[in-house]
Amino acid sequence: MDRLRFRSFASGSNGNCFFIGNSFEGILIDAGIGIRTIRKELKSIGLDFPNILGVFITHDHFDHVKAIPPLKEKYNVPVFATSVIHQRLGHDAIPERQIIQKNVPMQLKNITVTAFEISHDGTDNVGYTVEYQGKRFTLLTDLGYICKNAANHISKADYLVIEANYDEEMLEKGSYPALLKERIRGNRGHLSNSAAGNYLAENMPPSLKYIYLCHLSNANNLPELAYCTVSDLLAERGFVVGRDVELVTLDRTSPSGLYIFD
């Protein structure tokens, strides 16, 4: 059986889209970039929309759902989301709508997908764990803090995509209005570099092989700053990046490399 593969097509406030699967099929998590870009990046790894078993939505903000209409209307890709998200997006009558239940695994051929509730200010908000060949890939983007649900899934992950949205000092000294800063820092906002790094340093899963930092802010973060902050916090607890775990920052607007896991 083919190995698990991952690629980020984009990860940021301008759009989010991730592929998880194998060499002949898989799923998308979110579709917040242009439909042509998604198709181009799929073709670059030898796939196209008929190879996509479904797109799974984390929440209803535009940077996560922009391409949902053409995916379902033009290409008939099944759209998986909670009933609340479907209602918010006006999907009640479409045949491609697939309702997921939180904490209930869904089987798509050899891939199992489980949604779980997280804290953010969308209408409804979930993270996902994807299981394939005994490996667990957990994705958490746009979350204000690591709640019990998120912690449970992180603790079992082999591969983890987790938000590192902002640097506290850059946000504090930046030009955002006070109310927006408060929203970002709140429990239904976004996760900072240090919050992500401290949590992982204190709760490193023994199975974890890769950490991908996602949804970096353009105004309040830098890739090298996110990387160094998390790497240094891990090192303080004895976890050496490159030896004990791999650490990668995902670009906001450009695709990552294709990761093929053992």
Q: Residue type for 23, please? A: S
- One DSSP character per residue, 67-86 reads THHHHHHTS---EEE-HHHH
User: What does the domain layout of the chain look like in residue ranges?
Assistant: 5-252
* Angstrom distance (rounded) from CA 179 to CA 249: 28
Pairing of strands 210-214, 159-163: parallel
Decide: 112 and 53 in contact? Cβ < 8 Å.
no
* Angstrom distance (rounded) from CA 95 to CA 91: 9
Residue 60's CB is within 10 A of a number of other CB atoms, namely 20
- End-to-end alpha-carbon separation of the chain, Å? 12
The tens digit of pLDDT for each residue in 204-234 reads 999 999 999 999 999 999 999 999 999 999 9
Decide: 92 and 83 in contact? Cβ < 8 Å.
no
The tens digit of pLDDT for each residue in 50-104 reads 999 999 999 999 999 999 999 998 999 999 999 999 999 887 656 667 999 999 9
Q: Which of 182, 120, 118 has its CA nearest to residue 151?
A: 118
* Angstrom distance (rounded) from CA 67 to CA 55: 10
For 5-252, give the CATH class: alpha beta
pTM above 0.95, yes or no: yes
The tens digit of pLDDT for each residue in 165-191 reads 999 999 999 999 999 999 999 999 999
CA-based radius of gyration for the chain: 17
| Phi, psi dihedral angles at 57 (to 5 degrees) | -95, 130
Specify the DSSP element, H or E, that contains 44: helix 35-44
